[in-house]
Amino acid sequence: MARKSKLILAPLNTGKESFGNRLSMIRKSKGFTQVELAEKMGIIQVLISDYERGKLRPHHDMVARFAQALDVSADELLGIKLSKTKEDKPSLRIAQRLKKIENLPPAQQKTLLKTIDTFIKAAQT
């Protein structure tokens, strides 16, 4: 009689971060609050919190919904592929502020940019 061999799969190396940690990091880098992301997805904020804290494990459908709402791949959310969110484009909050700055009169833009430059220079030292 032939023996059945067991197939043992090695765990995927998805780093030390949990799904919830990656979800939180990506959400924040995209400039969303939990409330804003929940509204965009049509769910309640408590669910976002529960996923981020690891109280809930996402079903494949929710992974796809998160990926779509955050404009990232499911691989990025699952930690299979490194996230490029910070390199791709500025966060939503920064982009919104940039639009507001562009609508200011040139003199106010200049003053504000000098203030920002001074702040950045001080933070780097």
**CA pair distance 15, 21, nearest whole angstrom:** 11
pLDDT in 10s for each residue of the chain, 125 residues: 556 667 675 555 556 788 999 999 999 988 899 999 999 999 999 999 999 999 999 999 999 999 999 999 999 999 887 655 445 566 677 778 888 889 999 999 999 989 988 988 888 88
Token output for 30:
């995209």
CATH superfamily of 19-88: lambda repressor-like DNA-binding domains (1.10.260.40)
Token pair 């023996």 in the structure block, residue: 3
- Amino acid in position 92: L
Residues of the chain with CATH 1.10.260.40: 19-88
**CA pair distance 90, 86, nearest whole angstrom:** 7
